[in-house]
Amino acid sequence: MNDSQLRQVGASLVELPTISGANGNLSVAEIEKQLPFVARRYFLVYDVPTGETRGNHAHRVQHQYLTCVRGSCHVTVENGHQRAELTLDSPSLGLYVPPMIWSTQSVYSADAVLLVLSSDVYDESDYIRNYDEFLALTGEK
Amino acid sequence: MNDSQLRQVGASLVELPTISGANGNLSVAEIEKQLPFVARRYFLVYDVPTGETRGNHAHRVQHQYLTCVRGSCHVTVENGHQRAELTLDSPSLGLYVPPMIWSTQSVYSADAVLLVLSSDVYDESDYIRNYDEFLALTGEK
């Protein structure tokens, strides 16, 4: 993964402080440090068959934060001009995806659990699900 | 697990809507529906050796929400008067723990990943780590 490529797209890696001890590991993120927004929604994606792709949309105004808390998955992000990709494979690693970034997740390991935090509740009108519309809105059509 | 016992203590079970499809499962929680507070912090607990116990504290004003997103763990909650316990074993199941509830987590499965959402950033003065102090504050000492 390449943080500078991610930053060119507008996304950014988040590395979480981790406290490791004899009684286990703890990775933590908080607002104004690792978390760039307050979370009003979360969702978990799991039991994704190998070869399936999820995501394939952008958000108009909502911010998202993705972390693969178990197993691993592959994420691509693009802003209509540039694309970057990375593998999320640690509970201590997150990806901040601001609005107007097209994102796709794939290559889920069998045990993968993807946690997504969102800045607001579900609103279908916030989703851009048509790639051509996304390119038009980002000025690349 | 017994929701009425949990409610007597002051905690409550949260069951998440889950969308299952050929491309995997998605469980979702959002504020004012399943999430009783906005999350300003999250942490993940993992690789906890069998036999270890974590938690063992209460919060003065912060709210917490616990969900075992992979594997399972055992949670006890008590308010100084009553105690309840349950096993968290599904990404579609959460436990809301309001302030002034003593909580302990144990019997982590080897693959367990416990996700905790908090209503505010870390503040050591919010923690009650002495059980006798907790009982005194809840009027049971």
| Each residue's pLDDT tens digit, A18-54 | 999 999 999 999 999 999 999 999 999 999 998 999 9
CA B14 and chain centroid, separation:
11
Cβ distance of B70 and A108 shorter than 8 Å = no
pTM: 0.96
Determine whether the interchain pair A40/B38 forms a contact, defined as Cβ–Cβ distance below 8 Å: yes
Q: Does the interface predicted TM-score (ipTM) exceed 0.85?
A: yes
Q: What residues contact B91, with CB distance under 8 A and at least 6 apart? A: A44, A46, A113, B16, B18, B25, B27, B67, B68, B69, B70
CB contact under 8 A, A24 and B45: yes
Distance CA A136, CA A124 (A): 19
Q: Is A26 left (phi over 0), alpha (psi -120 to 50) or beta?
A: beta
Confidence of residue A2 (pLDDT cuts 50, 70, 90): low
Structure tokens at B18: 């889950």
For an interface test with A, which of B44, B45, B116 has the most A Cβ atoms less than 10 Å from its Cβ? B44
At A74-121, the pLDDT tens digits run: 999 999 999 999 999 999 999 999 999 999 999 999 999 999 999 999
pLDDT of res. A141:
55
Strands (E) across chain A are located at 12-15, 18-21, 24-30, 41-46, 54-59, 64-70, 73-78, 83-88, 93-97, 102-106, 113-118, 127-128
User: Residue A36: what pLDDT?
Assistant: 94
For chain B, the average pLDDT equals 95
Report the pLDDT value the prediction gives residue A50, as an integer from 0 to 100: 86
pLDDT for A4 equals 87
Residues A8-12, mean pLDDT to the nearest whole number = 95
**Does residue A1 register a pLDDT over 60?**
no
Interface test with A, best of B14, B15, B38, B43 (most A CBs within 10 A): B43
- Three-class SS state of B89: coil
Residues of chain B with C-beta less than 8 angstroms from the C-beta of A49: 22-24
> Which pLDDT score, from 0 to 100, does residue B139 have?
87
Q: Measured between CB atoms, does A35 come within 8 Å of chain B?
A: yes
Chain B residues within an 8 Å CB radius of A122 = 28, 30
* A81, A140 Cβ separation under 8 angstroms: yes
Task: Note the pLDDT tens digit of each residue in B21-55.
Answer: 999 999 999 999 999 999 999 999 999 998 999 99
In the block, residue with structure tokens 């978390």: A35
Q: So what's the pLDDT on residue A109?
A: 97
Nearest CB to B49; choose among A23, A44, A54 = A23
Q: Closest CB to B38: pick one of A39, A54, A108.
A: A39
Clarify whether A57 is annotated catalytic.
yes
> What part of B 69-128 touches A (C-beta under 8 Å)?
69-70, 91, 108, 111, 113, 115, 117-118, 121-122
Contact status of B26 with chain A (Cβ, < 8 Å) = yes
- With 70 as the cut, is the pLDDT of residue A129 above it? yes
Q: What is the pLDDT of residues B87-110, one digit of tens each?
A: 999 999 999 999 999 999 999 999
Say yes or no for a CB contact (<8 Å) between A23 and B47: no
At residue A68 the predicted structure's pLDDT band, cuts being 50, 70 and 90, is very high
A40 has a chain B CB within 8 A of its CB = yes
